[in-house]
Amino acid sequence: MTAQTPIQESPEDLVARIAITAREAQRQLTRLSDAEKAQALRAAAAAIRAAEADILAANDRDVTAGEAAGLTGASLDRLRLDPQRLAGIADAVEHVARLPDPVGHVIDSSTPANGLALSRVRVPIGLIGIIYESRPNVTADAAALCFRSGNAVLLRGGSEAVHSNRALHAAFVLGLEQCGAPADAIQLMPTQDRDAVGAMLTAAGLIDMIVPRGGKSLVARVQADARVPVLAHLDGICHTYIHSAADPAMARDIALNAKMRRTGICGAMETLLIDAHFAGAGKVLSDLLEAGCELRGDGRARAIDSRVLPASEEDWDTEYLEAILSVAVVDGLDAAIAHIDLHSSHHTDTIVTEDADAAERFLADVDSAIVMVNASSQFADGGEFGLGAEIGIATGRLHARGPVALEGLTTYKWLVRGSGQVRP
């Protein structure tokens, strides 16, 4: 396992040392079979369950320190573990063990005129760096997803959760060791020094991809400073457009759910666009208001319900992540698409309509990672998409887009089988 950092070691040397150890272990990991990787993950889950007392005691230290430091209710809640939550973490590791292994999957194959037998085969990316904030479950989730897909991982969690993360990491790697699996593939940064994050971001050639999981300022710093490729999502400014041909009851239910089920997730609706020809607007707005949602609208939205507050220009570009919603009335499909194009963060945008042509045009013309018809944007989630788990939701355009799970943690190589061919 990772030794204590000598005082003299620079952050760059520290990251290089850990990365080289992790990459060595990753090569051994690539030699494990699917069944061996799954078995090692089940052992990691069992070790987490067995270490319940230690992990909860470590978490208590973090929570106590957090309270002393004045953390608010929501932050403390993200940090806190209890027996049920810890069992959920172990369950999630076991769930990842059951997911199909993407490594070795043949994407396609062909035999061009030169007679070479070509195939593209999925392989791990290598060493993934995960930089995250207060949720300790990320330690186990990310470790499990990276291990399942044959990658090494360097985890760097937030200071608030340092003891919880160390205890979870120690249990996870103990489980791997008990199976003879290459536990050094799962590394936890041994220091909370912020310079070590900078060293991760610039470790091109040592770390193959960085995944930031956290708030806007973390993701923005990672995107600004990284020389290593980054798989990030920034804001989730998600729109729901209620088309003129929407079913009023469905539109009302989807709007309420998309906004109010959980307001703090990136798939929550932040702007509601109502077609000027949709008849049920009054009911949708009044039900949102009565559910406790603050509405900020343009003049036409305020004309529908006088309780709607005036929206500023900034509101159309704001991810509230709370019970606040901006509302605009638009003249038809093109105007809705134009508004989305201008203001969406291209995470998840939705149309509610019974008109199949309008639905298909919305699907074709809205260029977001996820485009939905007649569903709540709160479904934007790797688990709901059948991926089993997710490492994040990518709003960039390269490599992977939308919910990223095991496949997004792989790349491919070309295998070429010849019989002595030389090129003319």
CB of 155 to its own copies, least distance (A): 20
Counting contacts by CB under 8 A, is residue 17 touching its own copies?
A: no
At 260, give phi and psi (nearest 5°): -100, -15
Query: Which residues is 156 bridged to in the sheet?
Result: 131
Question: Residue 190 or residue 396: which is nearer to its own copies going by CB?
Answer: 396
Question: Residue 32 or residue 86: which is nearer to its own copies going by CB?
Answer: 32
Write each residue from 214 to 253 as x if it is in contact with its own copies (CB under 8 A), else as -, in one continuous string.
---------------x-x---------------x--x--x
C-alpha to C-alpha distance for 205 and 164, rounded to whole angstroms: 30
> For its own copies, which residue of 118, 202, 319, 353 counts as binding (CB under 8 A)?
118
CB of 76 to its own copies, least distance (A): 25
Counting contacts by CB under 8 A, is residue 342 touching its own copies?
A: no
> For its own copies, which residue of 370, 391, 404, 405 counts as binding (CB under 8 A)?
370
Counting contacts by CB under 8 A, is residue 50 touching its own copies?
A: no
User: Where does this chain touch its own copies (CB under 8 A) — which range of 175-183, 293-301, 315-323, 363-371?
Assistant: 363-371
User: Where does this chain touch its own copies (CB under 8 A) — which range of 14-22, 160-168, 181-189, 384-392?
Assistant: 384-392
Write each residue from 27 to 46 as x if it is in contact with its own copies (CB under 8 A), else as -, in one continuous string.
---x----------------
Question: Residue 94 or residue 412: which is nearer to its own copies going by CB?
Answer: 412
DSSP class of 75 = H
Cα 139 to chain centroid, rounded? 13
> For its own copies, which residue of 63, 375, 404, 405 counts as binding (CB under 8 A)?
375
Counting contacts by CB under 8 A, is residue 334 touching its own copies?
A: no
Counting contacts by CB under 8 A, is residue 173 touching its own copies?
A: no
Q: Find tokens 């959920």 and name the residue.
A: 88
* Structural tokens at position 316: 């159309």
At 130, give phi and psi (nearest 5°): -115, 125
For the range 295-303, what are the long-range contacts, defined as Cβ-Cβ under 8 Å and sequence gap of 24 or more? Answer: 295/324, 295/325, 295/326, 295/327, 296/324, 296/325, 296/326, 296/327, 297/326, 297/327, 297/328, 297/329, 298/327, 298/328, 298/329, 300/276, 300/328, 300/329, 301/274, 301/327, 301/328, 301/329
C-alpha to C-alpha distance for 88 and 126, rounded to whole angstroms: 28
| Helix, strand or coil, per DSSP, at residue 32 | coil
* Structural tokens at position 174: 């103990």
Residues making contact with its own copies (CB under 8 A)? 30, 110, 112-114, 116, 118, 120, 123, 125-126, 208-209, 229, 231, 247, 250, 253-254, 256-258, 261, 359, 363, 365, 367-376, 378-379, 384-386, 396-399, 401-403, 411-423
